[in-house]
Amino acid sequence: MSHLSPGIVYLVGAGPGDVGLITVRGRDLLEQADVVVYDYLSNPLLLGHAPQARAIYVGKKAAQHSMTQDEINALLVREGLAGHKVVRLKGGDPFVFGRGGEECEALHNAGVPFEVVPGITAAIAAPAYAGIPVTHRDFNSSFTFITGHEKEEQYKEDEARTREGGAASDVDWPSLAKLPCLAFYMGVKSLPRICQRLIENGMPPDMPAATIRWGTHPKQRTVVGTIADLPQKIAEAKLGPPAMTIIGRVVSLRPVMNWFESRPLFGQTVVVTRTRQQASDLSKQLSALGANVLEAPTIELAPPADLIPVDAALKSIGTYDWTVFTSANGVRYVKQRLLEIGLDARAFGRSKLAAIGDATAAAIREELSLKVDLCPQAFVAEALADALRDANEVKGKRHLLLRADIARPVLRQRLSADGSLEVSDVAVYETRPAAALPPTLIDALAAGDVQWVTFTSSSTAKNFVALLGDDYKAKLAGVKIASIGPITTATLKDLGLEPTVQAETFNLQGLLSALK
CA angle 377, 381, 383 (to 5 degrees): 40
Close Cβ partners of 495 (under 8 Å, ≥ 6 residues apart) = 461, 462, 465, 472
In the set 28, 34, 39, 156, the catalytic residue is 39
Q: Are the beta carbons of 69 and 100 closer than 8 angstroms?
A: no
User: CA–CA separation, 296 vs 477, rounded Å?
Assistant: 18
Listed in order, strand segments (DSSP E) in 260-351 are: 269-272, 292-295, 299-302, 322-325
**Which of 99, 56, 58, 76 is closest to 185 using CA atoms?**
99
Q: Confirm whether 60 is a catalytic residue.
A: yes
Which amino acid does the sequence have at 289? Answer: L
User: CA–CA separation, 214 vs 219, rounded Å?
Assistant: 6
User: CA–CA separation, 243 vs 221, rounded Å?
Assistant: 9
In the set 18, 28, 34, 60, the catalytic residue is 60
H helix intervals, 369-438: 381-390, 410-417
User: CA–CA separation, 437 vs 420, rounded Å?
Assistant: 42
CA angle 90, 144, 106 (to 5 degrees): 35
User: CA–CA separation, 116 vs 94, rounded Å?
Assistant: 8
Q: Confirm whether 395 is a catalytic residue.
A: no
Give whole-number Cα distances, 224 to 130, 230, 370, 413, in Å.
10, 7, 56, 63
Listed in order, strand segments (DSSP E) in 220-285 are: 221-226, 243-248, 269-272
Q: Are the beta carbons of 405 and 426 closer than 8 angstroms?
A: no
Q: Which residues pair with 88 in a beta bridge?
A: 11, 37
Listed in order, strand segments (DSSP E) in 140-275 are: 144-147, 181-185, 208-213, 221-226, 243-248, 269-272
Strand 64-65, strand 60-61: pairing: antiparallel
Preceding omega of 242 cis (within 30 degrees of 0): yes
Burial class (CB in 10 A: 0-12, 13-18, 19+), 30: buried
DSSP string, 400-415: EEEEETT--THHHHHH
Q: Are the beta carbons of 248 and 226 closer than 8 angstroms?
A: no
β-sheet with 114-117: strand ranges across: 54-57, 35-38, 85-90, 8-13, 114-117
User: CA–CA separation, 150 vs 170, rounded Å?
Assistant: 8
User: CA–CA separation, 240 vs 189, rounded Å?
Assistant: 8
306 CB neighbour count, 10 Å cutoff: 10
Question: Which residues are tagged catalytic?
Answer: 39, 60
